[in-house]
Amino acid sequence: MHERKRVLITGATGFVGSHLAWTLLEEGRQVTALARGSKTRPARERVLEALNDVSACVEAPARFSDRVNVLEGDIGVPGFALPETEAAALAAGTDEIWHCAASLSFSEDEREEIFRMNVDGARHVVEFAKRTPSRRLHHVSTAYVAGNRAAALESELEAGQTFRNAYEESKCRAESLVRSEHADGRIIATVYRPSIVIGHSRTGRATHFHGVYAFIRGLWSAVARLRRRGHAKDVAHLPLRILGREHTTLNFVPIDYVVNGMAAIAQRDSSAGGVYHLTNPAATENHVWLRRICRLLRVEGVRLVDPASFEQRPMTRLEALFQKQMAFYSMYLQGEPQFDSRNTVEALKGSGIECPPVTEEFIEKMAGWYIAQLEDGRRLES
């Protein structure tokens, strides 16, 4: 059993944050989750629902409700919009902070809100960390702060790269802020950079559905429309060209590797000031995962093409619609950096924690489970 630290976590209703909260609770921590309420549900209900979803994902009973304290607050506001007496008591009773909350939107139309949540939010978390006795902050960034670079080192951040979208840019700005405050001695920070987080390595299940899940959902919807119209009884033919390269890769990492790796690294005193890529040493070529998904959907005719294909033959109406819906995701099908993870490998040496291989069989398990949920009519949109 680890020392029973008192942990403040943001983003406990999100994918990484909820699974991390579960892991920390499993280790015996006392967890306070800072979360926003919605119009219909208070923050505590949202956090407990997220932990129940993790319970189903990992196929283990949830038994932590007595050790989860939930505070309703907003990282986008200084002091998290808490009354000062409450904020002071929270700071005094916090041993470390895990900052997982973020806007995952890629839309340029939402740029202001993305920066408010990701940059201003990080700034407010840093300011709060300064008030805690240890000033200890664990900041969850993303491997895609590398932007358009061909290779990404853990030691580097701002290297003249450009960014695909406001999300990447905002996360780079946020990480830069955290590292600067650490370098100046104002906080003690560790940065974690996961790549594309997908379902649990054992069950294939997930609790949130961004990234590759959006592609699966988009293809499933298109095939479902064909079948409803009677155009396909068995194997559907869907002539759909998607902008992307077959032999470039996507770097998928199972959620359990990400949170177990972060929790283990955090136990090392030497992790202070470090940056750690939670990435897969064997990324998956695009044609591999797309082929498996099409097989599960019983659809043929879907293929990745380069821009020249659309110059030779303009997009069909279906292709234009799909490209518009998937624009923020399809840009990653053009290529991604190669991620150096030597810091992570060294930190996890001897722990038994390694990134599980994302095999074709695992992709089938992960995607097959998600498609089954869609076909059951469940709302799995984010």
SS3 29: coil
pLDDT of res. 245: 94
Q: Characterize the bridge pairing of strands 284-285 and 249-250.
A: antiparallel
pLDDT of res. 107: 79
pTM: 0.95
CATH superfamily for 6-198+251-281+338-351 is: NAD(P)-binding Rossmann-like Domain (3.40.50.720)
Q: How many CB atoms lie within 10 A of CB 138?
A: 25
- As a residue count, the chain comes to 382
Strands (E), the chain: 6-10, 30-35, 68-72, 96-99, 136-140, 151-152, 188-194, 196-198, 236-243, 249-250, 252-254, 275-278, 284-285, 299-305, 338-339
Domain ranges of the chain: 6-198+251-281+338-351, 212-248+285-336+361-375
Q: By C-alpha distance, which of 252, 255, 263 is closest to 357?
A: 252
Q: What is the pLDDT along the chain (382 residues), one digit of tens a residue?
A: 456 789 999 999 999 999 999 999 999 999 999 999 888 899 999 999 999 999 999 999 988 777 899 999 999 999 999 999 999 999 999 999 999 999 988 878 899 999 999 999 999 999 999 999 999 999 999 999 999 998 999 999 998 899 999 999 999 999 999 999 999 999 999 999 999 999 999 999 999 998 899 999 999 999 988 888 776 678 889 999 999 999 999 999 999 999 999 999 999 999 999 999 999 999 999 999 999 999 999 999 999 999 899 999 999 999 999 988 888 788 899 999 999 999 999 999 999 999 999 999 999 999 999 999 999 876 555 5
Which CA distances in Å does 272 have to 40, 108, 194, 257?
Answer: 40, 34, 18, 20
pLDDT of res. 1: 45
pLDDT of res. 380: 56
Angle, helix 360-375 to helix 212-228, in steps of 10 degrees: 50
